[in-house]
Structure 1
């Protein structure tokens, strides 16, 4: 039996949101797949009809969603696709940071021998981070539980940022959200700075000053 409601919250990057039923009651989770084929993206305030249902875990959600709006509000001109293309190009260019960091590690090792296994630790953490990004991307597509952004940032700070960079570009995940990117790059800078302070004489020189 179909019901009606309003799209009260929508995250276009993640592809899900929540519908407030017209008759009251708790909000219902809705995934982009529930909308089927439609001309435009869902938007907050859109009037919808839907069938109440449940997912594989038995949680309430909206199914077979249809718009009750005569037409979608006018969207901004095609600056958004150009901005997305610019962001992807900048992200691809940022991959050069990985070989540059590898050169930094090599030069540092030649000048001041590094602990055994340090590079292996970076590789292991990067692989683990890539897998976590992949799982989060998969959960986003299926409407499942997501990995907290704080966890992703923690992995990047703990030497996993090369794997995070690869995942962002290869999986197209977390590569266009400005707030996330700002914190991510702060974690990358923090990790590289910590590496320099711990494994070069720079910290000792500062202490002498």
Structure 2
């Protein structure tokens, strides 16, 4: 069964500690959010961001945000990674090097 996505506004954010609290749109108690629940976002959250999240209980039984996303912020996993780009560049460079060596041997 799929978990329900909730929506709320980031009420506070402590950048130096990597956590804050979400004010849920449907009311109720503020929800704790840790930076680790925002995997793959292209920027850090700021106060006032609209956050979509699921909830889970922590070790003490309090609710926290999990699988969170920031409205309007791209996910890094949708972009080609730098590592892949380096692999492509290395493959092209190797291909050009092999072609240059073949041309040198052909000329002689």
Normalized against structure 1, the TM-score is what? 0.33
Corresponding residue to 2:54 among 51, 58, 70: 51
- Report the equivalent of 1:18: 21
Query: For residues 50-88 of structure 1, what are the alpha-carbon distances to aligned partners after superposition, in whole Å with 9 as ceiling and x for unaligned?
Result: 0011112211111110111257xxxxxxxxxxxxxxxxx
Any residues of structure 2 matched to 1:125-144 within 5 Å, and which?
none
Corresponding residue to 1:3 among 2, 6, 22: 6
SS in 1 for 2:23: strand
- Report the equivalent of 1:27: 30
Structure with the greater relative contact order (CA < 8 A, sep ≥ 6): 1 or 2? 2
Query: For residues 84-132 of structure 1, what are the alpha-carbon distances to aligned partners after superposition, in whole Å with 9 as ceiling and x for unaligned?
Result: xxxxxxxxxxxxxxxxxxxxxxxxxxxxxxxxxxxxxxxxxxxxxxxxx
Q: Gaps spanning 5+ residues in structure 1: where?
A: 72-209
Corresponding residue to 2:41 among 23, 32, 38: 38
Q: Is the 8 A contact 2:42 2:73 kept in 1?
A: no
Q: Gaps spanning 5+ residues in structure 2: where?
A: 75-108
Query: For residues 139-180 of structure 1, what are the alpha-carbon distances to aligned partners after superposition, in whole Å with 9 as ceiling and x for unaligned?
Result: xxxxxxxxxxxxxxxxxxxxxxxxxxxxxxxxxxxxxxxxxx
| Equivalent residue pairs, number | 71
Normalized against structure 2, the TM-score is what? 0.62
Moved over 4 A (4+): none
Q: Distance in 2 between matches of 1:46 and 1:7?
A: 5
Q: Is the 8 A contact 2:56 2:65 kept in 1?
A: yes
Identify, as 1 or 2, the structure richer in strand: 2
